[in-house]
Structure 1
Amino acid sequence: MTDVQEAQRATGCPFSEKAQAFDPFGAEYQFDPAEALRWSREQEPVFYASSLGYWVVSRYDDIKAIFRDNIAFSPAIALEKITPVSQEAIDALNGYGYAMNRTLVNEDEPQHTERRRALMSHFEPARLEGHEEMVRRLTREALDRIVDRGEADLVDEMLWEIPLTVALHFLGVPEDDMAKLREFSVAHTVNTWGRPTKEEQVGVAHAVGKFWQYSGQVLEKMRANPDMPGWMPYAIRKQKELPEVVTDSYLHSMMMAIIVAAHETTAHASANMFRRLLENRELWDEVCAAPSLIPNTVEECLRHSGSVVAWRRIATKPVTVGGVDLPEGAKILMVTASANHDPRQFENPDELDIFRDNTTDHLTFGYGSHQCMGKNLARLEMRIFLEEFTRRLPHMELVEQEFTFVPNTSFRGPEHLLVRWDPAKNPERTDPQAREPRLRFEVGAPNASALSRPVVVAEREEIAEGVVRLSLADPKGRDLPRWSAGGHVDLLFGDYERKYSLCGDPARTDRLQIAVLREPESRGGSVWLHDNLQPGTELSFRGPKNHFPLDEHAERYVLIAGGIGITPILAMADRLKHLGKDYELHYAGRTRAKMAFLDRLMADHGERLNVYSGDEGRRMDLTGLAGGYEVGRQVYACGPDRLLDAIGAVCADWPEGALHVEHFTAGASLLDPEHEQPFEAELADSGFTVTVAADQTLLDALRAAGIDVASDCEEGLCGTCEVGVLDGDVDHRDKVLSAAEHRESKRLMACCSRGKGKLRLAL
């Protein structure tokens, strides 16, 4: 129980003053929902908002758990009017025959999954690729209209119109009445998630009623010509095959709901993206210089300032969320904007970090079976918008302005976005090639392997025979990301990409330090680095990442290093010394002359250091070092595979979490298509099954189905593509999980591991 909950119990007050004062229609929440709920994430992650009649949930893990359970947490109220309306407004709606029914957003199981399966094929990545040309054409035409003007309101002049045009084209709806549809969409948002006055409610009701009638008229035109292209004609054809699944009332409701959903959120998200990047000029310039960053930049903007702020659920039985008991019938407001700023999930969450490697974990698109089907179309549009503007108007800047938003609980984007630029500086005036796209975008979530930060070699020092220490700095003198003991970076140099553990001072943000052993018999990267990298050399890296983290809560530690494996172990020893922990350090090498950092280790960790040098005839006794399992003691080891395999054998019967090792080579763990068997993977959270072919990884099959799974090395080394396993026999091929974790089979690495038969996964 938290301190706040203890205090509440002692005083008899069920909720804090801040919880009682919370108002989602107040200025603070409307301006920045994540910041408005910072206190909740830190102190009271589940509370009752009496002004709203909802339980508010603000932390990432709690919200994701709610998304995963559509039975206990029904989506039935997702489109319920959050503000009760007057009888006059109800009468106005009824006058239009308004009969909005269930849609994919607010439908319970099993009907929801049945309809989603029947209608989702148009949203698969392979089908969406055909829309890129149209999105590109519309964006270029809009830019052509304003490029020589020097100023524009991006919302009014393109960011609303293009997503709406794309949405209508995707749906198969005629592209007329654009202004009318924008009016209808705003009315629908206010009607469902806003707090209009009683007088405003009637006007909103008339607009929504007209929207309902308009949707019905378009639907009838489609019925007369069901062979037209588009998702709605496809749904009409599906109705003939599955009349009990795709019903008349469902089609009419979906026609209205998806016209809004398919474009309004993309328009808001795009406006939020341009605003945030132009407010952070260094990031804008970074993207202008390196367009390969665009997919991850879009994703990070969706996390940091997404257009979908919150979703709603209702408890179908007594439930516990975040340690708080909720009664049956409890209405829940899941503030996904707050979850996306939860430091338990995202490091430095309030920073807009376009190099963030887990940004696809965001909940802006929801999660599980109710995740937004149109997410990849939205990504495609936003990527093209950003690529065209950074190429043709890299000098564009934000005009000082006061941003306004349509007041509501759940969707957010500025109503206007004023920008300006000097037309005389337009690149295309001197270089016609500036009008031409620089790259195509694959449909789907971004791949972390496309990310890299520029650095320069600040210092180079020979610290042992065949070992160099490199200090890396930002070329512009900016701070580099923070890291922790056990962390590493993926260094990109020449034609190589290699992983190197960090071994400097984590408190220094101006330098990252690595040590590299020259290995002539390896794949060539270390030799190239030794021969070519000098102070001033420019290269890049990804990370830092930490798949070998130090648990700082044990009683005793045994640190074991072999050769260049000393680099992460050194950082751990430094950290344990700083914490005042009980530790011993064992370091083996062929000769003392080849053992990196030996002088520093003796100076800083002398009493705890044990050196085993081959030329002195000293060898590690792993059985003696590790001994039997001891409660409260943890062993960390890094070095050659033969060392790690030997340690694993000695500690084979230890419980999970007592032994930690790190590998930097994949060995023979990768896919061999000639000797594989296909298998099926049931996705429990998403409600359908994918087939993984013999020549396909599970990761590839998931991407083809539109499931977002982050990845990086795709060699079974980094742990980025980890997926939870609910049932099934796994053929583990990674070097991330321990032997005990392989036996338990609660997780797998989607890039390399496979199923021995059908698997059931937590996706």
Structure 2
Amino acid sequence: MQARIRSIRWEADHILGFRLEPLRGSSFPSFTPGAHVEVTLQPGLKRSYSLLNDPANPDVYEIGVQLDPESRGGSQHIHEHWRPGQVIEVSEPRNLFPLKEDAGHSILIAGGIGITPMLSMMARLEGLGRSWEMHYAVRSRNRAAFLERLEGLHNVQVTIDDEPDTPRLDLRSLIASAPADSHVYCCGPSGMLTAFREQGGPLGDRMHFEYFSADAEVACDGGYSLRLKRSDKVIEVVPGETMLDALLGAGVNVGFACFEGVCGSCRVPVIEGVPDHRDQFLTQAEKDANNAVMACCSGARTTSLTLDI
């Protein structure tokens, strides 16, 4: 669907906030806290961004975009080319990081640009009158996006690394002291999420997290074959290309967005063979089952993979 950029705001160093309005109609499709949309930047180039505004107000969609110094055309394109009044293509919302709205208590933990999905969760919990708390950690104040939405709230703790007088974020004690009826959410840089997953094991299914970038190298060693069951094609993956590169080069229609294995768009069912999983999307149980693979970043541990496409 099409949307118009209503306004652009500087939120922090290298972070811009965009407010989008529907091109047709009075409101966008509704969304739930933690949802994201895909924006089409140019043919073959899409990126996913969390919706950060209150889900009770679908008249606008708000997203925050951090300029990645290693951008391959996504955030750099947005920062350099998006302007107010411009019409862009936006997908309908999709939620891979949903909020458990009936939890007795919610603990939201964010680092850097990982604050964006937490803002919609915060707004929803506040609107429902639920018990919640937020912990937001950034390196410096000038890199703290959307800080004015958090300051002054009694249940928000902001940790600024280069300001010693701000409280420190202690994941271990935070998780250990979480009430039994609480759900805990984390979104931020890979280091924070790795620590959260290591510390959060006792939470079981009350632990929720979302990666914004991968913490493993993309598999591009090649040297294996893809056997496509439905079309009876065999595609060779050569050194220097990813599985997704090979599929797209052969004219196979595969979804994609992030190119890092964090969004789930390129998930492909596996019938036979053992993938070399490099993504942050599949659970460990799903990886152990070896019945799906993220084509944008993962490879193969066997000489061939048979895919259900």
Normalization by structure 2: what TM-score?
0.77
1:495-521 Cα offsets, whole Å, 9 max, x none, are 964332111122333311112334556
1:80-102 Cα offsets, whole Å, 9 max, x none, are xxxxxxxxxxxxxxxxxxxxxxx
Deviation at residue 701 of structure 1 after TM alignment: 6.2
Counterpart of 2:277?
732
Counterpart of 1:607?
154
Counterpart of 1:293?
none
Counterpart of 1:720?
265
Counterpart of 1:110?
none
Q: Distance in 2 between matches of 1:665 and 1:465?
A: 19
**Secondary structure of 2:151's partner?**
helix
Deviation at residue 694 of structure 1 after TM alignment: 3.5
Counterpart of 2:211?
663
Which structure has the greater CA radius of gyration?
Answer: 1
Q: Distance in 1 between matches of 2:180 and 2:248?
A: 40
Counterpart of 1:491?
39
Structure with greater strand percent: 2
| Structure 1 residues 734-753: aligned runs within 5 Å | 734-743=279-288, 745=290, 747-753=292-298
Q: Distance in 2 between matches of 1:705 and 1:528?
A: 26
Mapped pair 1:641 → 2:184: no
1:277-329 Cα offsets, whole Å, 9 max, x none, are xxxxxxxxxxxxxxxxxxxxxxxxxxxxxxxxxxxxxxxxxxxxxxxxxxxxx
**Secondary structure of 2:85's partner?**
coil
Deviation at residue 587 of structure 1 after TM alignment: 0.2
1:342-398 Cα offsets, whole Å, 9 max, x none, are xxxxxxxxxxxxxxxxxxxxxxxxxxxxxxxxxxxxxxxxxxxxxxxxxxxxxxxxx
Write the letter of the residue equivalent to 2:283. S
Q: Distance in 1 between matches of 2:248 and 2:6?
A: 42
Q: 2:20 is matched with which residue: 461, 467, 472?
A: 472
Write the letter of the residue equivalent to 1:608. N
Q: Distance in 2 between matches of 1:759 and 1:531?
A: 40
Q: Distance in 2 between matches of 1:497 and 1:725?
A: 24
Pair 1:510–1:557, CA change in 2 (3 A): closer
Deviation at residue 470 of structure 1 after TM alignment: 1.5
Counterpart of 1:515?
64
| Structure 1 residues 5-24: aligned runs within 5 Å | none
More deviation, 634-643/475-484: 475-484
Deviation at residue 762 of structure 1 after TM alignment: 7.3
1:215-251 Cα offsets, whole Å, 9 max, x none, are xxxxxxxxxxxxxxxxxxxxxxxxxxxxxxxxxxxxx
Deviation at residue 598 of structure 1 after TM alignment: 2.0
Q: 1:693 is matched with which residue: 225, 236, 245?
A: 236
Pair 1:576–1:759, CA change in 2 (3 A): farther
Write the letter of the residue equivalent to 2:134. L
Q: 2:8 is matched with which residue: 437, 460, 463?
A: 460
Q: Distance in 2 between matches of 1:576 and 1:535?
A: 31
Q: Is the 8 A contact 2:226 2:306 kept in 1?
A: no
Pair 1:529–1:644, CA change in 2 (3 A): same
**Secondary structure of 2:49's partner?**
strand
Structure with greater helix percent: 1
Write the letter of the residue equivalent to 2:156. L
Counterpart of 2:55?
506
Q: Is the 8 A contact 2:67 2:79 kept in 1?
A: yes
Q: Is the 8 A contact 1:730 1:753 kept in 2?
A: yes
**Secondary structure of 1:482's partner?**
coil
1:703-733 Cα offsets, whole Å, 9 max, x none, are 9799xx8623272232134355677644212
Counterpart of 1:711?
255
Q: Is the 8 A contact 1:730 1:755 kept in 2?
A: yes
Q: 1:559 is matched with which residue: 108, 111, 125?
A: 108
Counterpart of 1:587?
136
| Structure 1 residues 329-408: aligned runs within 5 Å | none
Write the letter of the residue equivalent to 2:21. A
1:192-221 Cα offsets, whole Å, 9 max, x none, are xxxxxxxxxxxxxxxxxxxxxxxxxxxxxx
Q: Is the 8 A contact 1:669 1:734 kept in 2?
A: no
Q: Distance in 1 between matches of 2:67 and 2:61?
A: 20
Higher RCO (CA < 8 A, seq sep 6+): 2
Q: Which 5+ residue runs of structure 2 have no aligned equivalent?
A: none
Q: Is the 8 A contact 2:225 2:305 kept in 1?
A: no
Counterpart of 1:290?
none
Normalization by structure 1: what TM-score?
0.35
Deviation at residue 563 of structure 1 after TM alignment: 1.2
Q: Is the 8 A contact 1:691 1:701 kept in 2?
A: no
Pair 1:476–1:728, CA change in 2 (3 A): closer
Q: Which 5+ residue runs of structure 1 have no aligned equivalent?
A: 1-452
Q: Is the 8 A contact 1:656 1:741 kept in 2?
A: no
Pair 1:532–1:522, CA change in 2 (3 A): same
| Structure 1 residues 251-400: aligned runs within 5 Å | none
Q: Is the 8 A contact 2:182 2:206 kept in 1?
A: yes
Q: Distance in 1 between matches of 2:5 and 2:126?
A: 29
Q: Distance in 2 between matches of 1:487 and 1:645?
A: 22
Q: Distance in 2 between matches of 1:720 and 1:493?
A: 16
